[in-house]
Structure 1
Amino acid sequence: MTRILILYVSRHGMTAQMANQIARGVESVAGAEAVIRTVPDVSTVCEQTAPRIPAEGAVYATLDDLKNCDGLAMGSPTHFGNMAAPLKYFLDGTTALWFSGALVGKPAAVFTSTGSMHGGQESTLLSMMLPLLHQGMMILGLPYTENALRETTTGGTPYGASHVAMGDEGLSDHEKNLCRALGARLAQTATRLKTHDH
Structure 2
Amino acid sequence: MVKVNIIFYSMYGHIYRMAESVAAGAREVEGAEVGIYQVPETLPEEILEKMGAIETKKLFTHIPVLTRDMYEDVLAGADALIFGTPTRYGNMTAQMRTVFDGLGGLWSQDAFVGKVGSVFTSSGTQHGGQESTILTFHVTLLHLGMIIVGLPYAEKRQTIMDEITGGSPYGASTIAGSGGSRQPSENELAMARYQGRHVTQIANKIAGK
TM-score, normalised to structure 1, is 0.89
Percent identity between the two aligned chains: 39
Question: Does 2:170 align with 1:159?
Answer: yes
Matches of 1:75 and 1:128, distance apart in 2: 10
Q: Segments of 4+ in structure 1 off by > 4 A?
A: none
- Number of aligned residues: 187
59, 64, 71: which one pairs with 1:59? 64
5 Å-filtered alignment, 1:1-198, equals 1-43=1-43, 56-61=61-66, 62-64=70-72, 65-151=74-160, 153-166=164-177, 168-195=181-208
Greater fraction of residues in helix: 2
Q: By how many angstroms is 1:115 displaced?
A: 0.8
Secondary structure of the equivalent of 1:163? strand
2:41 maps to a residue whose letter is: D
Unaligned runs of 5+ in 2: 45-57
Unaligned runs of 5+ in 1: 45-53
Secondary structure of the equivalent of 1:5? strand
Matches of 1:86 and 1:12, distance apart in 2: 14
Could you give the per-residue CA deviations for residues 152-173 of structure 1, whole angstroms, max 9, x where no partner exists?
Answer: 6311011111001125342112
Matches of 1:183 and 1:164, distance apart in 2: 19
Matches of 1:92 and 1:18, distance apart in 2: 24
RMSD: 1.7
TM-score, normalised to structure 2, is 0.85
* Contact map agreement 2:175 2:182 (CA 8 A) in 1: no
Matches of 1:174 and 1:67, distance apart in 2: 32
Matches of 1:35 and 1:23, distance apart in 2: 8
1:160 maps to a residue whose letter is: G
